[in-house]
Chain A
Amino acid sequence: MTKIKTLADLERIKNEMRSDKDLNGSQDNSENAVKIKVGMGTSGIASGARDVMDFLIEALEKRNIEALVSQTGDMGYSYAEPTIEVRKPGQKPIVFGYVDVKKADLIIEKYIKLGEEVEGIIPVNYQTIDD
């Protein structure tokens, strides 16, 4: 790993990440991949987020759906844990709550494959620093 010495080095990593390389930074064209983030703070894990993440990784591969599944921190919706965010290519991300393995299966089959609505969507209720 080359060390970061200048602001340009930061910019370079930022651009690399933008150009949709996978999480390890290796060349993997993932523009067409579904991106899923699983809320893995303590409360998420305690509610079963790890099982959901394992299931998603396995099921998406078995069903030949190009996807990147990664962990993230607490999304803040403790009442609806486990929570996942799904971003289909070219679409806005959607956060689902109360996601157990069964619900994750439903999200793959209905929302990801067919674009149909699945219950448990948590609407965005905050502004970001860039809004």
Chain B
Amino acid sequence: MTNLGGNKMSRHKQIRIALNNCGVIDPENIREYIARDGYLALGKCLTEMKPDDIIREIKDSGLRGRGGGGFPAGLKWEIAAKNQADQKYVVCNADEGDPGAFMDRSILEGDPHAVIEAMAICGYSMGATKGLIYIRAEYPLAIKRLKIAIDQAREFGLLGKNIFKTDFEFDIELRYGAGAFVCGEETALIHSMEGLRGEPTIKPPYPAESGYLEKPTNVNNVETYANVPIILRKGANWFNKIGTEKSKGTKVFALAGKIKNVGLVEVPMGTTLREVIYEIGGGIENDKKFKAVQTGGPSGGCLTEKHLDTPIDFDNLVQAGSMMGSGGMIVMDEDNCMVSVAKFYLDFTVEESCGKCSPCRIGNKRLYELLDRITQGKGEMEDLKRLRNMSNVIKDTSLCGLGQTSPNPVLSTLDNFYDEYVAHVTDKKCPAGECKDLMTYFVIEENCVGCTACARVCPVGAITGEKKEVHYINPEICIKCGACEERCKFDAIIVK
């Protein structure tokens, strides 16, 4: 037996559980899934286990929701199972929307049957006969492969009536999201499926009590479901030996940004950021200096050098000022301006706020405007206090998870890169050289031979000077496109 817990005895840093079949089987051929023990867990559950046994197994495994919040999956199932109703629903949240994240898409494209099997198991354990997958329309290949998989499962009798000769029936339909980020929030997702506006509502009632069409509904994310068949096949005790004390199993991350090996990785909880970035990810592109890693998408934060040895799990990341989120991991190097990064995420949030509650609708817009001002060199020191105060108010008073977490990128960059904010405000400089408004192009007189190449390439006519004489760039007209610097053969133009 290989000891999967801890990294001492393992040969590799990665263990593929959720990605077990991804890149291994033909996702459009159910027989290949079955050849890898697919639907064995469903068969065993239906013929050998009681619903309570399954829920206990999932609880014992310690599986927590992989969509971001980390709520214990078994507990969610148990609550939905206890609530009595004539109809219940199993919902799969495939509304993956974090910038740079593609874990769920890859699982659905590479192993759709794992999600179907898990949803059927969940249906049996909570007493639901209907499953719905809420998937964004921007994922056409995942949709196509899911449809093929559902059809094949029906053809093989693994969806439909009397599955494995029992009384259990279960079927799955797809529902399409139009790409609104807030619809990844479970109450907004449910409203969207009902044909209503994708707006969140206050919890409680939780979906497990009153969800889709006001019936008890279990909502889990794609990756959470993808773990379920394997947990039931290998046993809770196998699964809960992997990971840390409070976060069991593995997590899939989409490594992106300034990293050599961009791609999908699946590591046991408790792996450090350093191991993921340097050992698996191969380090920073072009051997630049590591500056920060953003986890948790627009709800998360930026972690720095000092966090690199933090073991990744739900609680540690929150403690470090970020969060697990769904698994996006964007690596930044010395050329990334952290104020711009915060602005990028706020721009996203402003765009995606549903507008229902004012702290999120108005507050985030004001936060964005403050950040914009700072990146233009028009900020004041007072603005930095305003940013922090407003962030805290938005967090405390917003209706749903979107607003409650949207200031995180601002707060974490303020905490970790305060000096960089100050440089923008007091020196009117962007240390990373990313904020165009804070850059000035200069001609180095000694180097300029007066070839006029720069003046000819300048799209706005900002450069003047006679032939064979030193040229001059007018900062009032210059749009900082950099064309002159690129064209100059004498290194006579620099940017500061």
Contacts and interface: CB of A to CB of B under 8 A. Distances in A.
Interface stretch (B153-161, B168-176, B364-372, B402-410): B153-161
Contacts of A70: 26, 29
Interface of A: 1, 3-7, 10, 13-14, 16-18, 23, 25, 37, 39, 41-43, 45, 70-80, 83, 85, 124-129, 131
A73 B106 contact: yes
Contacts of B19: 76
B478 interface: no
Interface residues of B, number: 56
Given A5-B157, A10-B34, A126-B14, 16 more contacts: A4-B156, A6-B43, A7-B43, A10-B43, A17-B32, A23-B26, A25-B31, A37-B24, A71-B27, A71-B28, A73-B24, A73-B27, A77-B261, A127-B2, A127-B12, A129-B230
Given A73-B27, A124-B12, A127-B12, A6 B164 contact: yes
Interface string B89-114: 00000000000001001100111000
Given A74-B109, A125-B12, A45 B141 contact: yes
Interface stretch (B185-193, B262-270, B302-310, B341-349): B262-270
Contacts of A6: 43, 47, 164-165
Nearest to A15: B35
Contacts of B43: 4, 6-7, 10
Contacts of B50: none
Contacts, number: 141
Contact of B264 (A3, A72, A76): A76
Contacts of B16: 126-129
B234 interface: yes
B22 interface: yes
Given A7-B43, A7-B44, A126-B15, A42 B105 contact: yes
Interface in B28-49: 28-29, 31-32, 34-35, 37, 39-40, 43-44, 47
Contact of A127 (B14, B27, B44, B261): B14
A41 B39 contact: no
Given A74-B106, A126-B16, A17 B31 contact: yes
A126 B266 contact: yes
Given A17-B34, A124-B12, A125-B280, A74 B23 contact: yes
B164 A74 contact: no
B110 A127 contact: no
A45 B22 CA distance: 15
Contact of A129 (B10, B11, B20, B26): B20
Given A14-B34, A17-B31, A74-B109, A127 B155 contact: no
Contact of B4 (A14, A16, A25, A127): A127
Of B13, B106, B142, most buried by chain A (CB within 10 Å of CB) is B106
A66 B153 CA distance: 31
A5 B261 contact: no
B25 A72 contact: yes
Given A14-B34, A74-B106, A127 B262 contact: no
A13 B43 CA distance: 14
B262 A73 contact: no
A14 to B, nearest CB: 5
A23 B30 CA distance: 10
Contact of B15 (A13, A17, A71, A127): A127
Interface in B396-453: none
Contacts of A39: 23
Contacts of A7: 40, 43-44, 47, 164
27 contacts: A1-B155, A1-B156, A3-B156, A4-B39, A14-B34, A14-B35, A39-B23, A41-B23, A43-B102, A71-B26, A72-B24, A72-B26, A73-B27, A73-B110, A73-B111, A76-B22, A76-B23, A76-B265, A78-B262, A78-B263, A79-B260, A85-B23, A125-B14, A127-B4, A127-B10, A127-B15, A131-B11
